[in-house]
Homo-oligomer: A and B are copies of this chain.
Amino acid sequence: MNKAQQTRKYILETAFSLVYENGFQSTSIDKIIAETNVTKGAFYYHFKNKEEMGMAIINEILTVSINENLVKPLANHGQKAEVIYQTIKNFMLSISDRQLRLGCPTNNMIQEMAPLNTTFARALLSIIENWKQKLSEAIIEGQKDGSISPNQDAVVLAAFIISSYEGARTLGKLYKSFEYYNFYLKQLKALLEK
C-alpha cells in the first residue's frame, strides 16, 4: 500500500468514525479534515465529493464488516442451528461499549440515508440482501440436517432474525445496556430450536 492509498484509507476510517458518531449528513468535510489534519485539497484528491466518500464507507467498511462477522462464519461446519446461533452470539459478545452506545453502523446508515439517497439505499440493501440470502441457505441446511424445524419458511425466518437483530442493537443503544443483546440471543436460540 503506497502513501496515497494509506492517506485515503486513513481519511476513510476517520470519516467513518465521525459518521458513526454523528450521522452522515452532520459530518462535514471540515470536521473530517480537522480530525485527520489532512487538507481539503487532499480530501478532494481522494474523493470526488461527499457522496462518493459515503459510498466508499458503505462499500469498503460496512459491507466488509457484515460479511466478515456475520456472513462468512455461517459456512463453518457443524449442526447449522448451532452454527447460526454461534455466529451471531460471537459477534454480539465482541461488541465494545462504544459500539453498544452507537449501535449498528449499517442500521444507522439505513435509518438516516435510505429514504434520502437511492444510491446509498441500493448499496445498503444489497448488504442486507446478501446476508439474508446466505442466512436463508444456512437455515435450509439446518432443516436438512434436522437441527431446524422444517415448518418454518427459511426466508421469513432469516428476515426475522436480521430485523430483530437490528432492533436489539437499537434497544441496546437506547438503554446503553448489553441486556437486550442477551434477550435477543435467548429468543434467537428458541427460534432456532423449534
Contacts and interface: CB of A to CB of B under 8 A. Distances in A.
Interface of A: 21-23, 25-26, 101-103, 107-108, 110-112, 114-116, 121, 124-125, 128, 156, 159-160, 162-168, 170-171, 173-175, 179-180, 183-184, 186-187, 191
21 contacts: A21-B115, A22-B116, A23-B23, A102-B115, A107-B170, A110-B174, A111-B173, A125-B174, A128-B174, A156-B183, A156-B186, A159-B183, A160-B168, A160-B183, A160-B184, A160-B187, A162-B167, A163-B167, A163-B170, A166-B170, A167-B170
Nearest to A188: B160
Nearest 4 pairs between A and B by C-beta? A167-B167, A163-B167, A164-B164, A111-B111
A120 to B, nearest CB: 11
Contact of A162 (B23, B159, B171): B171
Contact of A111 (B165, B170, B183): B170
Contacts of A186: 156
A189 B186 CA distance: 18
A84 to B, nearest CB: 16
A94 B182 CA distance: 32
Contacts of A160: 164, 168, 183-184, 187
A163 B156 contact: no
Contact of A174 (B124, B187, B191): B124
A190 to B, nearest CB: 8
Contacts of A170: 107, 110-111, 163, 166-167, 170
A149 to B, nearest CB: 11
